[in-house]
């Protein structure tokens, strides 16, 4: 009997310890792991790579357009690794034309006029590692990447819904007139309404 009571006491104690660890230590551990992951992501970005170790330079390919004087005009994107650093960070797409890079200190570097395509790639790397932006031409539009997340615009009421409301109001007026009431619901009605009912 004493042995059973002692076993129950041990099990209760273990249960209390497990609950305390779950209630107190687990949230701290989860918060620490989340902070560690955030720090790792930041350090990887500073090193020019994503959390999987893929280097940003290896995640896209460009073709340089040169001016007549031999200087760089822009970089045309020919390939982007899906899920790679340049796709995830900027949303870069094939056929984008990179015309400028903005570093983490909001300093803009226009590619037009740089000495070489490597200078342009260096400016793009600075934008990636510093959490900056890229200015690209996509089709006929000039975009700043990454694109700002837009909130969906409210949907205006459809014309049929507005028509339906108008029909309901007309029907209510007709019902009131048939009941011998005015449009405001009173029993007497106006002289015009009474004359209309008589004729």
Contacts of 13 (CB under 8 A, 6+ apart): none
Stretch 112-136: mean pLDDT = 94
| pLDDT above 90 (res 148) | no
Q: What are 136's strand-pairing partners?
A: 98, 143
pTM of the model: 0.58
**Reduced 3-state DSSP string for 139-168:** CCEEEEECCCCCCCCCCCCCHHHHHHHHHH
Separation CA 97–CA 193 (nearest Å)? 71
DSSP label of 7: H
Stretch 97-111: mean pLDDT = 94
| pLDDT above 70 (res 115) | yes
For 61-90, write each residue's pLDDT tens digit: 999 999 999 999 999 999 999 999 999 999
Q: What are 61's strand-pairing partners?
A: 79
- Domain limits, the chain: 56-145
For 24-53, write each residue's pLDDT tens digit: 666 666 677 677 777 777 777 777 788 888
Give all strands (DSSP E) within the chain, no chain letters.
60-66, 72-80, 97-102, 108-110, 133-138, 141-145
Contacts of 197 (CB under 8 A, 6+ apart): 177, 180, 189
Q: 178: number of CA atoms within 13 Å, CB side?
A: 6
| pLDDT above 60 (res 175) | no
Higher pLDDT, 171 or 16: 16
Match 């280097």 to its residue by tokens. 55
- Whether the CB-CB separation of 54 and 85 falls below 8 Å is answered with yes
Match 């342009």 to its residue by tokens. 120
Separation CA 85–CA 106 (nearest Å)? 20
pLDDT of residue 93: 96
Stretch 96-122: mean pLDDT = 95
pLDDT of residue 110: 96
Stretch 186-193: mean pLDDT = 55
- Comparing CA positions, the residue from 143, 51, 40, 27 lying closest to residue 91 is 143
Assigned architecture for domain 56-145? Roll (2.30)
Separation CA 121–CA 39 (nearest Å)? 26
- Whether the CB-CB separation of 133 and 146 falls below 8 Å is answered with yes
């Amino acid at each position: 009997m004493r042995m059973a009571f002692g076993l129950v006491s041990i099990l209760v104690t273990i249960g209390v310890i497990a609950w305390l660890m779950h209630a107190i230590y687990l949230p701290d551990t989860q918060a620490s792991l989340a902070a560690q992951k955030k720090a790792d992501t930041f350090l990887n970005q500073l090193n020019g790579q994503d959390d999987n170790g893929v280097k940003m330079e290896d995640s896209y390919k460009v073709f340089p357009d040169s001016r007549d004087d031999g200087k760089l005009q822009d970089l045309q994107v020919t390939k982007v690794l899906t899920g790679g650093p340049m796709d995830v960070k900027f949303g870069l797409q094939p056929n984008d034309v990179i015309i400028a890079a903005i570093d983490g200190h909001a300093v803009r570097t226009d590619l037009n006029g740089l000495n070489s395509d490597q200078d342009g790639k260096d400016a793009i790397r600075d934008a990636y590692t510093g959490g900056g932006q890229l200015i690209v031409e996509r089709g006929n539009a000039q975009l700043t990447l990454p694109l700002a997340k837009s909130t969906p615009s409210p949907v205006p009421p459809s014309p049929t819904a507005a028509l339906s409301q108008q029909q309901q109001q007309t029907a209510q007026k007709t019902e009131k007139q048939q009941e011998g009431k005015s449009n405001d619901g009173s029993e007497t009605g106006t002289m015009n309404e009474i004359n209309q009912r008589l004729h």
